Amino acid sequence: MTSTLAFAERDIFWPPADELMQAAERIRARLGDWPRAPVPWRICLTAPDAPRAGDLIVVADDNDHPASFAGWLAHGAGVVEAKAGGVSLMLAGQRYAFEGTLAEDWLAALAAFLDCGFEAPDALVLAMAWRDGDDARSDDAWPVDLARFPRLVGLPPVPAEPFASCPARLGLYAVVPSAAWVERVLTLGVQTVQLRMKDAPPAQLAEEIARSVEAGRRHGARVFINDHWREAIAAGAYGVHLGQEDLETLAPAELTAIAASGLRLGLSTHGYYEMLRALHFRPSYLAFGAVFATTTKTLATAPQGLARLARYVRLVEGVVPLVAIGGIDLTTLPGVLATGVGSAAVVRAVTEAQDPQAAVTALHAAFERRPSSG
């Protein structure tokens, strides 16, 4: 075990628990090299006298501390309730609830995944997917069997049928700001395009979407519309792309309307919790990012990197197509494709290129050079 994996002299559990610490170190050593967590997480088996941000206070179902929760949360701590058949996490004004079985080492696994730099909800998802003895079965013990992952509790109903499917590998996926750009990249041979227009008067927006969809028909290409699903339905678009925040505002009847129209649905995800949430809606594809730092939008999470992308690919392979997005250009694309992901979305690599035609040609060439089994 390298020194970067050692928990010695680190405040991982409170009160100190040698057996849990040893199990956490053993698990952590089988997870690979990851940057150390930016947050000094501490798993509290009993409530500390002075709760602080970074504390996760574990409460078993035979304890009754609801009156104390508010005070702990007010100090920035999180509360993990472990009950028969599931776990919930209260943190930063949010509640995350899961159903699933727990390994004996799940708290040690939670510490290990937190140490790999994952946010608490994602680390908890991974800890619940952990099984006793995983660390002894392989040099790479990372959970990649979706059947072992927990189920999210309290999600809204979904349409009776899954959203329409799209190809397993969407290839080069250009995200552009106008119908003129849609037409331009389609002429250059791009087959998957997203129109992303955030601010436009309704009449202009409808016109841009209709123009983009018509261009897609002429070129036999897949045109997704970002956010504006009503206009996408009206124009007969191939699909629509939505963010996690959209899932919070859409009514079940609206989701049913999108599915009934035949639109494909792409959903943004930024980690394991959001992935499980998105899969509940049975979308046509998932987008994962931001893989690298990007200036095209404000990031709620730090760049994910290639190591996380590779794990994500392994988890959803054969379940749903995956699109990598965020800061991808000609320099970084080969590394992205080496993870096995079937599609990579680019923005500035095309729209800010001095020669968009040369840029698209080079990006397509990178896809052609990837191993056929990748």
Say what the pLDDT of residue 63 is: 58
Q: Is 296 annotated as a binding residue?
A: yes
Within 10 Å of residue 178's Cβ, how many Cβ atoms?
17
CB 177 within 8 A of CB 196: yes
Phi, psi of 109 (to 5 degrees): -65, -40
Q: Is 342 annotated as a binding residue?
A: no
Say what the pLDDT of residue 374 is: 42
Q: Is 21 annotated as a binding residue?
A: no
Q: What is the largest CA-CA distance in the chain?
A: 67
Decide the pairing of beta strands 264-269 and 285-288: parallel
Question: b/e string for 200-235 if b means 16 or more Cβ within 10 A?
Answer: eeeeebbebbbbbbbbbeebebbbbbbbbbbbbbeb
Gyration radius of the chain's alpha carbons: 22
Report the C-alpha gap between 159 and 282 in whole angstroms. Answer: 9
3 state DSSP class of 343: strand
What the chain holds in terms of domains, given with CATH numbers, is 3-152 (no CATH), 171-369 (3.20.20.70)
CB 37 within 8 A of CB 66: no
Q: Is 42 annotated as a binding residue?
A: no
Q: Is 268 annotated as a binding residue?
A: yes
Q: Is 196 annotated as a binding residue?
A: yes
Say what the pLDDT of residue 199 is: 86
Say what the pLDDT of residue 35 is: 83
The sign of the CA dihedral 93, 99, 105, 109 is negative
Report the C-alpha gap between 21 and 37 in whole angstroms. Answer: 16
Report the C-alpha gap between 279 and 155 in whole angstroms. Answer: 11
Q: Is 312 exposed, middle or buried (0-12, 13-18, 19+ CB in 10 A)?
A: buried
Say what the pLDDT of residue 39 is: 87
Q: Is 1 annotated as a binding residue?
A: no
Report the C-alpha gap between 206 and 286 in whole angstroms. Answer: 25
Report the C-alpha gap between 239 and 232 in whole angstroms. Answer: 7
Q: Is 139 annotated as a binding residue?
A: no
Read off the pLDDT of residues 257-312 as tens digits, 9 standing for 90 and up.
Answer: 999 999 999 999 999 999 999 999 999 999 999 999 987 666 556 799 999 999 99
Say what the pLDDT of residue 370 is: 84
Say what the pLDDT of residue 300 is: 59
User: Would you write out the chain's pLDDT as a tens digit for each of its 374 residues?
Assistant: 444 566 867 889 999 999 999 999 999 989 988 887 888 999 999 999 999 999 999 998 655 667 789 999 999 999 999 988 999 999 999 999 999 999 999 999 999 999 999 999 999 999 999 999 998 887 789 999 999 999 999 999 999 999 999 999 999 999 999 999 999 999 999 999 999 998 899 999 999 999 999 999 999 999 999 999 999 999 999 999 999 999 989 999 999 999 999 999 999 999 999 999 999 999 999 999 999 998 766 655 679 999 999 999 999 999 999 999 999 999 999 999 999 999 999 999 999 999 999 999 999 999 999 876 54
Q: Is 195 annotated as a binding residue?
A: yes
Q: Is 297 annotated as a binding residue?
A: yes
Say what the pLDDT of residue 1 is: 40
Say what the pLDDT of residue 7 is: 80
Read off the pLDDT of residues 137-172 as tens digits, 9 standing for 90 and up.
Answer: 877 899 999 999 999 999 999 999 999 999 999 999
Say what the pLDDT of residue 167 is: 97
Q: Is 63 annotated as a binding residue?
A: no
